[in-house]
Amino acid sequence: MNDTEDLREKLLADVYGGAFSGLGAMLLDEDRIRKADEEELKEIASQYGYK
């Protein structure tokens, strides 16, 4: 996998973990993460607290 796909998988894991722990609204980002290009993924990652 490349860095972009690794980041996508990490973000999706965060979304699923958050949804499982009671933050179901996080699932709203799933489709956005799946469809995002590299730049948008970086933006989403920064919103999730990644550096």
pTM, whole model, 2 decimals?
0.88
pLDDT of residue 37: 97
* CA-angle at 44, arms to 47 and 22, nearest 5°: 70
CA 34 from centroid of its chain's CA atoms: 8
What are 6-33's pLDDT values in tens digits? 999 999 999 999 999 998 899 999 999 9
By the 8 A CB rule, do 14 and 47 touch? no
Q: Read off the pLDDT band of 41 (50, 70, 90).
A: very high
By the 8 A CB rule, do 31 and 8 touch? no
Residue 1 scores a pLDDT above 80: no
By the 8 A CB rule, do 15 and 26 touch? yes
Q: Which of 31, 5, 27 is CA-nearest to residue 17? A: 27
